[in-house]
Amino acid sequence: MSARTLRNPMDYSNHPRSSKKLTIRKVLAYVAAVLLVSMADPRPQTFQIGCVLVALAWLLRIWSFGHLEKNLTMVTSGPYGYTRNPAYLGTFLALIGVALAAGNRETNLGRYAWGFGIFLVVVFFTVYLPRKFRKEYPRLKELFGEELDRHAENVPDFLPRLSKWKSGDNRSFSWTRVSANHEWGWGLVLTLVMAMIYFVDCWSPLRQWLV
């Protein structure tokens, strides 16, 4: 029996993403984000570019979750025709945007911020993504079988293909799915992070220690 027949895909009362648990990995991620923002020494040009990247990252995540019914349906529409993991790509773009906005090449503090940002990018590719793939793909394989294999044969894991793969999935974007996937909080968090970078002189004691 296909996973898509197990329950009504528009019934979000028991959506798989409805519960959020605080884990050690999440705590470490939050601490890393606070450290990066605390050592920020922004400059107008790089801050503005960072804001653009962060905005694009959130739009990509919204687009992704507007198509996703996690564990319920094998989704190949929308951004999933370009990359199998568009939400993770959005997370990566947000990381790049925040790191770029936080630093500069003119001061030691700015270079510290960029250096820490580079470290986080390395962790993202060597620890975060591999763990996610190892954990998720076996479960998806069990749920969707040949559908998953067909998607994998035509669409890359992470970096998007240039042209969209036409799988025949005509699913349309849904704001209901965005809400069911709890994505609105991400926008608030990203806005707060960028505001903290912009006003870092007003609140961060770490800058005084590092200067």
Taking only the tens place, the pLDDT of each residue in 53-107 is: 999 999 999 999 999 998 899 999 999 999 999 999 999 999 999 999 999 999 9
Q: Is the pLDDT of residue 149 over 50?
A: yes
Residue 185, domain member (yes or no): yes
DSSP 160: P
Residue 105, domain member (yes or no): yes
Q: Tell me: the pLDDT tens digits for 6-39?
A: 444 444 444 444 446 778 888 888 899 999 999 9
Cβ burial of 126 (10 Å; 0-12, 13-18, 19+) is exposed
Predicted pLDDT of residue 26: 83
**How many domains does the structure of the chain reveal?**
1
Predicted pLDDT of residue 210: 66
Residue 138, domain member (yes or no): yes
Using CA atoms, how far residue 28 sits from 41, 88, 96, 123, 170, in Å, is 22, 18, 18, 12, 39
Structural domain of 139 = 44-210
- Whether 72 and 65 have beta carbons less than 8 Å apart is answered as no
Q: Which range, of 29-33, 124-128, 158-162, averages the lowest pLDDT?
A: 29-33
Residue 4, domain member (yes or no): no
Predicted pLDDT of residue 71: 87
Predicted pLDDT of residue 23: 83
Q: Element (H or E) spanning 113, and its range?
A: helix 108-123
Residues with Cβ < 8 Å from 120, sequence gap 6 or more? Answer: 32, 36, 95, 99
Predicted pLDDT of residue 21: 73
Predicted pLDDT of residue 14: 47
DSSP 11: -
What percent of the chain stands above pLDDT 70?
89
Average pLDDT of every residue of the chain: 89
Residue 115, domain member (yes or no): yes
Predicted pLDDT of residue 20: 60
Residue 153, domain member (yes or no): yes
